[in-house]
Amino acid sequence: MIDVHIHVVPPNLPGTGSLAPLLKSAPDVVAGELRRQMQTTGVTHAFAMGEWDAGPDDPLGVNRTLAIASMVPGLKAIGVADPTKTGDDHFGRCEEVLREGRVVALKCYLAYLYYEPAHPNYRRYYELAARYRVPVMFHTGDTFSPLAKLKYAHPLGVDEVAVDHPDTRFVMCHAGNPWMSDCAEVVYKNMNVWADLSGLIVGDDAAFVSAESRDTAADLAHDIARAIKYSERPNRFLYGTDWPLAPMPAYRDFVRTAVPETFHELVFEENAHLLYRLR
């Protein structure tokens, strides 16, 4: 099982805080809890976001993530594409990180940062991603910050860059929720677009068993099944949790009920294995 979307460090984005108290803990504490969650759930690989604006010596914000990855077998880093940085020196340092294979993807924090996918400041990241054959992941849909601006995170914005950058592969995180039908249309239309199913429910174990959460899970399961059916692309949906915003075992069980069983192997492992070129 491959979890394509987790956090091991605070993202350092406007209005988000640390996301979860655990992420303020020492690296070995975070690593220990992540190892336990992965072993309990059967996750063999997990991809963790970096942090925004980490400084010139860390152009993609992955140094702290990589330090934790050294303690967690199967953990890999996702670099942050920062549209506020436009200098040649910055992109030279970014390319060095990609050349060394230190990241498996780049992440664009739409809505948290007020840049749409087609903004010119993202173009060089897309070109680097195509050159080094790593996907670009977008935050789409609802946010974790009152300072975010939702218009930047609508899934339809991804259609434009998918057309203009056909050699780059893109992932819409959170399946664009609550605009999951729009996400499905973008996946259906564009052969270089995927969607992950992370962060659709957040909370502790109790949140997954309350009556209100059961109703929410049922509604989301209907939306997920409909999106997969409409898109006709079960090979373009990816499993992710957004851990530690949700416990891995409970989230796995939720996705198992939401995704038609015939597609479990694709969604939980095969699609990610191919997209992220795991050896």
| DSSP string covering 57-77 | TSTTS-HHHHHHHTTSTTEEE
Phi, psi of 76 (to 5 degrees): -130, 160
Rounded distance between C-alpha atoms, residue 175 and residue 240, angstroms: 11
Domain around 127: 2-275
* Long-range CB contacts for residues 20-28, cutoff 8 Å, separation at least 24: 20/244, 20/245, 22/244, 23/244, 27/64, 27/67, 27/68, 27/71, 28/71
Q: Can you give the pTM of this predicted structure?
A: 0.97
* CB-based contact 83:122 (threshold 8 Å): yes
- What's the CATH code of the domain at 209? 3.20.20.140
> Could you give the count of Cα atoms lying within 13 Å of 189 in the half-sphere of its Cβ?
14
3-state secondary structure 175-233: HHCCCHHHHHHHHHHCCCEEEECCCCCCCCHHHHCCHHHHHHHHHHHHHHHHHHHHHCC
pLDDT for res 211? 83
Through-space distance between the first and last CA atoms of the chain, rounded to whole angstroms: 14
pLDDT for the residue 213: 84
Question: Which pLDDT value is given to residue 212?
Answer: 84
CA separation, residue 57 to residues 12, 49, 68, 97, 276 (Å): 16, 17, 18, 11, 25
pLDDT at 210: 84
Tokens of 10: 């605070």
The list of the chain residues with pLDDT below 50 reads none
CA distance 200 to 174: 6
Q: How many domains does the chain have?
A: 1
> What's the pLDDT score for residue 261?
96
